[in-house]
Amino acid sequence: MANFIPTVICAHSLSEYKTVISQIRNVQSKRNRYAHNSIFLNEKSNKVVTASMKARGKLTTKIEEVTIDDLKQVSAEIHMAMLDLHKLITQKEYPPIWEKR
């Protein structure tokens, strides 16, 4: 496989760097809510919930309802952050997958 040689990143790309990194960090924390916590069906309420714990100074627990719309939203935000990062690096812009029809 040939070595990838990056092209010179133009000044415009660098001005977008902070915005893209901020977007990635924001969506990363949303992703982590689902990737690192338990998701299960609460049989009493018949709703899907996520359970999380934190142990910074004291132990705290949190149970929150999860909807399919929540998962779709986070998935879309992850996808858009990925596209923005791709554009930052390659200077090529692609539409989101839901617009490719």
In a domain, 3, yes or no: no
Q: Are strands 47-56 and 38-42 parallel, antiparallel or unpaired?
A: antiparallel
Q: What is the pLDDT of residue 51?
A: 92
Would 62 be classed as within a structural domain? Answer: yes
Residue 6 resides in a domain? no
Give a yes or no: residue 1 inside a domain: no
- State the pLDDT at residue 91: 86
| DSSP category for residue 70 | H
Q: Is position 31 within any domain?
A: yes
Examine the pLDDT at 13 and tell me if it is beyond 70: no
Residue 101 inside a domain? The answer is no
Q: What's the pTM?
A: 0.75
Does any domain span residue 4? no
Expressed as residue numbers, the domain containing 68 is 11-95
Do the domain assignments include residue 58?
yes
The structural domain count of the chain equals: 1
Region of residue 80 (left: phi > 0; alpha: psi -120 to 50; beta: else): alpha
